[in-house]
Structure 1
């Protein structure tokens, strides 16, 4: 009789554990691939979680399409929404004439942008503070100051989510 009890409880325990996991582990992060296209035309790419969204808008010149990634994430308590855009192969061979990251549903708390140069040994080098500006919900290049080199952009915003 004991083997019968074990076998009948196993599906019930499995079902209960799946229900508990479903309630406590909602999708909190996404990483998606997209093409950055040269040609000087303005393009946008967006991704989101729940009611929060990140939009990366850019124009670039030179070379051919490049594969880039966008990751968005929502903290466990729902108070922070993050967005990162980067070229996984490192240095981009495109020249960006403009860029902007915009958060929907969150106010920017932190932002940083990076480039990669051969002189730096192909590692991320933060853009100079005068190359970009941080607004309430946006991060954008400063016309006439931005060096046209971008390899990564990271933005973290406060959602205004309040626990009851």
Structure 2
């Protein structure tokens, strides 16, 4: 695994370990549906929300999970969307994750290689773009393979 990938996973692990309260974390199952139609799934914790918007082709519905969590100090909001079985057999024509109420500090998207079956292979940096509050595929660059998307945002606290 590349050094960047190891550092990313370490950062994710540290951030997720901050989410200790059951009231501040949720894991919800949802169906990813093929057919080329744009679908949206959202989940929130407190006043922070994660929205996953996608369109996919091929196969049948797949069960996916969305995890959202707020750190104990309310400084970080995390959102992960993934297929628990690993490889998705769907081809994603588009995807977007949007965090409401935060500014993205970290984001990464992953696929699974068909040849080796290696899980959580980071997408190439030119396959997606990270904005202030969204992570989106890059048209013409995205390989249409997605198995996991992880986004961490810093909450915006007003100074007194």
Aligned counterpart, 2:116:
120
Aligned to 1:58: 54
1:11 counterpart residue number: none
Which structure would you say has the larger Rg? Answer: 1
What aligned pairs does 1:8-157 form with structure 2 within 5 A after superposition? 25=21, 27-157=23-153
Deviations 1:120-145 (A, max 9, x none): 33411000000000000000000000
Bigger share in helix: 1
Aligned-pair Cα RMSD in Å: 1.6
Q: Give 5+ residue unaligned stretches, structure 2.
A: 1-19
Q: Which runs of 5+ in 1 are unaligned?
A: 1-23
What's the TM-score once normalised by structure 1's chain length?
0.82
Sort the Cα spacing of 1:36 and 1:25 in 2 relative to 1 into closer, same or farther, 3 A. Answer: closer
TM-score by length of 2: 0.84
1:79·1:162 contact (CA, 8 Å) conserved in 2?
A: no
Residue 161 (structure 1) shift: 2.6
| Residue of structure 1 equivalent to 2:8 | none
Give the equivalent residue in structure 1 for 2:12. none
C-alpha contact 2:24 2:46 (8 A) present in aligned 1: no
Superposed CA offset, 1:9-59 (max 9, x none): xxxxxxxxxxxxxxx956110000000000000000000001000000000
> How many residues get paired?
141
1: CA distance, partners of 2:97 / 2:30? 15
1:14 aligns to what?
none
